């Protein structure tokens, strides 16, 4: 599988994750992105032994787009700190069901993850295990009963965008888990990691990468015109 590289140096590897492959190994046993990239580095650099590559953040299996990996333990710990301090800008593109009323807004919810069922749900702020989830959205277009959004994550909770938009009454197009009542099996989820921007953990220069979804429905209602 050819995985597009968006940025690479001795410390970081940023790639465009294909849709429908897991970021790391799971119970499915399917080839995962982390393993594929380690194998690729081993071949490209003719490296003996094990290749170090660490996950910095995650994307859900059906979601595609820009994702960062660390090639050294120093870069990994510094990138983890950037995320903790909310100093990595993460912009997603999303298509949701229905016409979103407000042109822009901030959503604040409290989320709990049921790890056994791999599902996230909203809760009261004081509930045990509930974590604050914040995102900002801007409407980029409305058409055919759908709304095209730019979403900026402030926090990075599991399934956050999917749950918060569904809770708002506008589940993602194609999301079978949090929008099964309006989506059909087989529809590809319309959520894409579009832009990442942060200060390089070692070089201290600004790194910005972008990635865009393929020219397929529903993205092509607005993109690639």
The one catalytic residue among 40, 60, 109, 175? 60
Kindly report the backbone phi and psi dihedral angles of residue 197, in degrees, each rounded to the nearest multiple of 5, phi listed first: -145, 130
Q: Are 11 and 71 in contact (CB under 8 A)?
A: yes
Distances (CA, A) of 76 to 11, 72, 82, 160, 186: 9, 6, 10, 23, 36
Q: Can you tell me which residue has the tokens 């910095």? A: 56
Active-site residue flag, 60 = yes
Phi, psi for 59 (deg, rounded to 5): -125, 140
What are the tokens at 195? 């832009």
Contact criterion met (CB below 8 Å) for 222 and 122: no
Residues with a known catalytic role: 60
């Amino acid at each position: 599988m050819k995985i597009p590289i968006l940025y690479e140096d001795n410390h970081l590897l940023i790639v465009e994750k294909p849709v429908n492959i897991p970021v790391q190994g799971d119970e499915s046993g399917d080839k995962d992105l982390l393993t594929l990239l380690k194998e690729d580095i081993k071949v490209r650099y003719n490296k003996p032994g094990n290749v170090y590559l660490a996950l910095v953040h995650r994307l859900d299996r059906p979601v595609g787009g820009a994702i960062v990996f660390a090639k050294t333990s120093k870069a990994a710990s510094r990138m983890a700190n950037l995320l903790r301090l909310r100093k990595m800008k993460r912009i997603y593109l999303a298509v949701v069901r229905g016409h979103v009323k407000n042109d822009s807004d901030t959503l604040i919810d409290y989320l709990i993850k049921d790890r056994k069922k791999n599902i996230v749900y909203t809760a009261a702020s004081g509930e045990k295990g509930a974590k604050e989830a914040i995102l900002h959205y801007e409407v980029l277009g409305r058409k055919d009963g759908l709304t095209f959004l730019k979403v900026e994550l402030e926090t990075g909770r599991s399934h956050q965008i999917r749950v918060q938009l569904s809770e708002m009454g506008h589940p993602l197009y194609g999301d079978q888990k949090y929008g099964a009542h309006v989506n059909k099996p087989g529809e590809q989820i319309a959520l894409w990691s579009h832009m990442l921007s942060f200060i390089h953990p070692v070089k201290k220069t600004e790194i910005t990468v972008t990635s865009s979804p393929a020219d397929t429905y529903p993205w092509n209602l607005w993109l690639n015109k």
